[in-house]
């Protein structure tokens, strides 16, 4: 089997064998449990063993499979904690390509080997994730840069992987088509494999988010292609390393505030948001800035969807039940013409409760994301959400909520205390402006 299997048969075989192996492990555990030969420690050990197996096999597949692992690493509501810990490696700690393959890709894409193109080039990757891996380098003028090299065949595997994923989801989702959702995921994955597109998005964000709070890399176009992306280097450390340094609460709060502000500073950005909020994409710099380092997944929503999404904040905060119901209908979360009104009301009640809790940070001037009860309740609602198996909501929810939920997960992991007033005011002023412009039209 090739180092990076790209055929549907190869990839399907890996997925099938992995599923059978993990299933057999759990079946054996349940049998031992029935016989009284197991305990919680052995269960935890089994979760870790199976998570390690799953991550190892997903690492072979890269691409869509590892994107799924990244998503799983942010959600302890569905999977056991042991899975979340192991899957967190998918954020930037995937086993890298070998050096020879890296050199050959750079030669093919840029016309020369890295030792000629750069004054210095580190052959070992400093980070590796789902689509590509990153190397440190120095330009001939002394500028420190990061060189992102895409794995072979990643783009070619997207359709076959999504076909396999759709087959699995059809067994879990009831009575509705998931085609729109999968097409949304497909389009974003294809965008992420186009480094020319990422470079454009990087520079768009650099115009707005290179300031006293944020640092973004700058594109080096003469050393970039669709599959190799060179950018200025953002020095600092990722979240896990930062937390291992036992930072002061003041430092935690400062970086947490930057993350909170980064989310809200995007509200008035042409309906466009950074949609890949996982720890591997943020750097805590030595000069107290938030570095944002990956711009492959940027979501631009239709104005109607975006305005309704932002409206959820206001109607929840105002406890306006009739307006809230209308916004959820506009977002296709509930159906006023449903053939099962009882089920709709049950789901609507869930949305109200979850939404009110999720917006707790906006109801106070400062919020402590280290509050264990807040975390537990978010997890409780997320688990309850999995019981509603009918697909709901616009496809545009997928990436917009990925940013918001990802932000919360990072802040909760940090235990950050953030001042929320400015963010709340940005939301309210944005809505007021949209209403004014709509009335004028």
Q: Residue 173 pLDDT > 60, yes or no? A: no
Give percent of the chain above pLDDT 70.
76
pLDDT at 2: 47
The answer on pLDDT for 225 being more than 60 is yes
CA distance 324 to 306: 15
Q: Domains of the chain: which residue ranges?
A: 8-91, 95-128+131-233, 236-441
pLDDT of residue 1: 40
- The pLDDT score that the predictor gives to residue 96 is 80
Alpha-carbon span 378 to 375, nearest angstrom? 5
* Nearest in space to 110 (alpha carbons), one of 269, 221, 270: 221
Residue-wise pLDDT tens digits, 10-60: 666 666 665 556 556 555 545 555 555 555 556 667 667 766 766 666 666
The pLDDT assigned to 6 comes to 54
Q: Minimum mean pLDDT among 72-76, 93-97, 149-153, 161-165: which range? A: 72-76
Closest C-alpha among 266, 292, 260, 299 to residue 407: 260
Neighbour-count burial of 116, counting CB atoms closer than 10 A to its CB (0-12 exposed, 13-18 middle, 19+ buried): exposed
Could you tell me if 296 and 280 are in contact, meaning their C-beta atoms sit under 8 angstroms apart?
A: no
Cα angle, residue 275 at apex, residues 291 and 354 outer, rounded to 5°: 115
CA distances from residue 344 to 31, 178, 347, 392 in whole angstroms, order as listed: 39, 19, 5, 11
Q: pLDDT tens across 75-92, in order?
A: 555 555 655 555 555 455
91-136 pLDDT, tens digit each: 556 678 889 999 999 999 999 999 999 999 999 999 887 788 999 9
Q: Among 11-15, 97-101, 364-368, 408-412, which is the least confidently predicted range?
A: 11-15
Q: Which two tokens stand for residue 320?
A: 């306006």
278 Cβ neighbours under 8 A, 6+ residues apart: 70, 73, 74, 91, 406, 410
């Amino acid at each position: 089997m090739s180092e990076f299997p790209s055929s549907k048969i190869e990839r399907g075989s890996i997925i099938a064998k992995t599923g059978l192996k993990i299933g057999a492990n759990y079946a054996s555990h349940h049998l031992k449990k029935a016989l009284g030969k197991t305990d919680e420690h052995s269960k935890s050990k089994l979760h870790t063993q199976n998570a390690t197996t799953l991550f190892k096999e997903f690492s072979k597949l890269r691409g869509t499979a590892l994107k799924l692992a990244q998503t799983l690493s942010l959600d302890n509501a569905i999977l056991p904690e042991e899975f979340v810990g192991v899957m967190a490696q998918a954020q930037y700690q995937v086993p890298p390509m070998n050096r020879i393959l890296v050199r050959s890709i750079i030669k093919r894409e840029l016309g020369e080997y890295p030792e000629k193109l750069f004054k210095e080039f580190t052959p070992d990757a400093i980070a590796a994730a789902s689509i590509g891996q990153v190397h440190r380098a120095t330009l001939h003028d002394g500028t420190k840069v990061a060189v992102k090299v895409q794995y072979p065949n990643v783009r070619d595997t997207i359709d076959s992987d999504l076909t396999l994923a759709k087959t699995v989801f059809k067994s879990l989702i009831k009575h509705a088509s998931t085609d729109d959702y999968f097409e949304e995921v497909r389009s974003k994955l294809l965008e992420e494999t186009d480094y020319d597109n990422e470079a454009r998005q990087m520079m768009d964000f650099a115009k707005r988010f290179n300031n006293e709070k944020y640092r973004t890399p700058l594109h080096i176009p003469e050393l970039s292609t669709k599959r190799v992306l060179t950018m200025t280097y953002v020095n600092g450390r990722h979240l896990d390393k930062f937390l291992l340094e036992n930072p002061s609460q003041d430092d935690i709060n400062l970086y947490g505030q930057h993350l909170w502000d980064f989310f809200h500073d995007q509200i008035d950005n042409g309906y466009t948001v950074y949609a890949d909020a996982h720890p591997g994409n943020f750097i805590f710099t030595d000069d107290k800035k938030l570095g944002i380092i990956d711009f492959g997944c940027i979501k631009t929503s239709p104005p109607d969807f975006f305005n309704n999404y932002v409206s959820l904040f206001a109607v929840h905060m105002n406890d306006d039940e009739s307006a809230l119901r209308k916004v959820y209908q506009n977002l296709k979360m509930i159906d006023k013409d449903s053939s099962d009104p009882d089920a709709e009301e049950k789901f609507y009640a869930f949305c109200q409760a979850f939404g009110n809790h999720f917006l707790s940070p906006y109801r106070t001037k400062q919020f402590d994301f280290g509050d264990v009860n807040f975390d537990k309740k978010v997890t409780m609602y997320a688990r309850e959400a999995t019981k509603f198996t009918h697909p709901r909501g616009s496809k545009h929810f997928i990436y917009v909520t990925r940013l918001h939920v990802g932000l919360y997960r990072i802040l909760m992991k940090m235990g950050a205390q953030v001042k929320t007033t400015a963010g709340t005011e940005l939301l309210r002023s944005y809505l007021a402006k949209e209403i004014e412009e709509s009335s004028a039209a």
